Amino acid sequence: MAISLRLLVMASALIGGYVWVRPAPPERPAAHVRFEERAAAAGCRNVHSMCRLHPAFENIMPWLSSVGAAAAAADYDGDGFADLHVTQSGRGQANRLFHNRGDGTFEDVTAAAGVGIGNAAGACMHAIWGDLDNDGDLDLYVIKWGDRNTLFRNEGGGRFTDISKKSGVDFWGYGNAATFFDYDRDGHLDILLGNYFADTIVDEKTGSRVRNDLWNPVSTKIMHETFTHAANGGRNVLYRNRGDGTFEDVTTAVGMTFHGWTLSVGAGDLNNDGWPDLYIANDFGPDEYYLNTGATEQPPRFRLVIDPRGHPGVGNDWWKGMNVDFGDVNNDGYLDIYVTNILSRKYKTDEGNMLWLNCGDAAMTGGRGFKNIAEPAGAMDGGWGWGGKFADFDLDGLMDIFTVNGFVTGHPDRTYWYHIQEMVTQTKNQTVDTRDWPVMGDRDLSGRELSRLFMQLPATADRIQRTDHASDRIERATSKSQRAAGESQRAAGESQRAAGESQRAAGFSPRGATNGNEPRFCDAAEAAGITDTYNGRGIALADYNHDGLLDIYVANQGAPSSYYVNRTTPPVGASFLRIQLIGRPDLPLRLGGRTLASTTNAVGARVTIQTCAGIMMREVQGGTGYSSQSEYPLHFGVPNPAAVERITVQWPSGRTQEVTDDAARKLVGHHLRWVEGAQPEVRK
């Protein structure tokens, strides 16, 4: 498929009379982007312990136990500094909670907080923070394999209580992913849980369906049925928050029934209609893209998007979705998507990470489509990818991408890759029984890889060189048609959408999806000091030391964690803005016959900075990325503070607030706390 696509692109280029000019990326002054690894010195170093399943699976134990290293950043005690929760997956090993002292160091407060768990059964895989009871502090939801998930209520004073059974979210299964979001905008956080293995299986002795316990198995037929279209994975679960401390399973009622092998989930408003949509990254099969129907029906449901070519999701993917993160990478007011996949030059895998650019497309449901620009943008080769996050690391106003990788580190001279290929050929892609898999032993599979720090490059002119005036006319006509179709859909949108379109129409955005000058990146990881070769998994971004720069914490699988403090020298005159939004569930609005409210975490709220040069937009998210959660406050790089004209907040309640002119410019360079209905307050 990928080969035929490339041939089609080449043919189109020859017919159209132009060629894509891909010179070596211009040299970015990478020396100004610097990170310093300080996990041990800062007191937040954790050595991840790996899970081990029943010996019946010993032949592929390295493969099966290659997950579980998760990191989640959040301010659980309300002192303004992001703390850290990291998971352990080995039997008897406790998860760890690191409290940020605010002086550049952390202390382990796990025992006092009571959140260690210890993996007496099963194995911890992920955890996310969110204020589920709207009491003003963050609760903790821990996702596991082979054990019931645990919900800890934050009691204040650094103490937590297990309320899992009472709340009804103690699902038993094989969770790898979760996110908090408010899908019905009632002011209460809901939970989307993504599961990997099926939670039940057929007992070959009795023929009955029983619990699929990988520590006490009844069968070795536990794997994906194919590498490309497996539908025998775990069932994902959507828990609706009733608002009384309990949750109900509404998965089937909202239209989500597929049993894929989910590794990552994310919620964000992808079509700018005010309602959070879903992207589900699945291993061994197509990803899923669901549009929230809240704008047209109540209660909301989720509609699976099928593209005009019959593909589920945003378009062609490579059936190994590992990560999903959202960010407005081209500053046009729409969320784009970054999905990691696998790419290894030495194995000649023709796949790679995907950067889905959100574009107007009248043929798609909701009027928005996505174009994978990862390869021409230089953000495709992330290795054997896992967690990946959008962020502006150098305050230039452009979103960069940090992504980690590495699967199984074994003997460098013995690879497992070709054994897999042989097995797939022999079994005709029927891979469900672990007994058919070759022994992995100490073989390597994409171990010892460097992470990638894709820094977005400033725009340059004439990235497309045209040699035929007719092709110019064709492109202009096509672009005009696309703009007209997009304009008719956007005309009914919110003010932010109109503002973004007017800027594009005025020629502001040099990176729009229709003008042939899309984002470009170059990898600066090694030059910036990110040099470890661990098998990275979860990423937790936060401004841990309040210096205005985003730092990086990485949970490495079966290895020490990495804490990279950002020592970057920003461009001259550049600054930052970090905004913590606090929603008011007690201040609902009645709109269109509905009562809408924000959660205290303000998940789904948007902040837009309008400048004389364009816009920058961020949306509050309740945990995205493989085994990842970054802090709740929104972070902006502001390259020219004097150009700021307006800062606007769009709350999930439907309320809009803004600060303009000098009042807005005075906020730049500060950490803000902005409570819904009130004026922003400077915290530092």
The 10s digit of each residue's pLDDT in 266-309 is 999 999 999 999 999 999 999 999 999 999 999 999 999 987 77
Annotate 281-316 with b (16+ C-beta within 10 A) or e (fewer): bbbbbbbbbbbbbbeeeeebbbbbbebeeeebbbbe
Residue 505 neighbours by CB distance under 10 Å: 12
Helix runs in 2-147, H state only: 2-16, 39-42, 61-64, 110-113
Taking phi over 0 as left and psi of -120 to 50 as alpha, with beta for the rest, 65 belongs to alpha
Q: What average pLDDT score do residues 342-368 get?
A: 86
Burial class (CB in 10 A: 0-12, 13-18, 19+), 643: middle
**Does residue 396 contact residue 29 with C-beta atoms inside 8 Å?**
no
**Does residue 515 contact residue 525 with C-beta atoms inside 8 Å?**
no
The pLDDT value given to residue 495:
37
DSSP string, 549-588: S-EEEEEETTSB-EEEEE---PPTT-EEEEEEEE--TTS-
Residue 2 has pLDDT above 70, yes or no: no
Burial class (CB in 10 A: 0-12, 13-18, 19+), 506: exposed
Nearest CA-CA partner of 133 in 245, 264, 287, 239: 245
Tokens for 39? 């996990």
Q: Which residues have CB under 8 Å from 8's CB, separation 6+?
A: none
User: Sorting pLDDT into bands at 50, 70 and 90, what band is 684?
Assistant: low
Tokens for 426? 């022999």
Quick: pLDDT tens for 533-562: 999 999 999 999 999 999 999 999 999 999
Max CA separation in the chain (angstroms): 75
Burial class (CB in 10 A: 0-12, 13-18, 19+), 204: exposed
The pLDDT value given to residue 460:
65
Residue 400 has pLDDT above 90, yes or no: yes
The pLDDT value given to residue 314:
84
Quick: pLDDT tens for 190-216: 999 999 999 999 998 999 999 999 999
How high does pLDDT run on average in the chain?
Answer: 88
DSSP state of 306: B
Residue 473 has pLDDT above 90, yes or no: no
Q: What average pLDDT score do residues 136-153 get?
A: 98
Q: What average pLDDT score do residues 17-40 get?
A: 60
Q: What average pLDDT score do residues 43-68 get?
A: 98
Q: What average pLDDT score do residues 391-413 get?
A: 97
How far does Cα 440 stand from its chain's mean position? 30
Share of the chain above pLDDT 70, in %: 87
User: Sorting pLDDT into bands at 50, 70 and 90, what band is 13?
Assistant: very low
For residue 366, the SS3 value is helix
Nearest CA-CA partner of 317 in 289, 345, 346, 336: 289
Q: What share of the chain is helix, strand, coil (3-state, %, to 5)?
A: 15, 35, 50
For residue 426, the SS3 value is helix
Which amino acid appears at position 357 of this protein? Answer: L
User: Sorting pLDDT into bands at 50, 70 and 90, what band is 317?
Assistant: confident
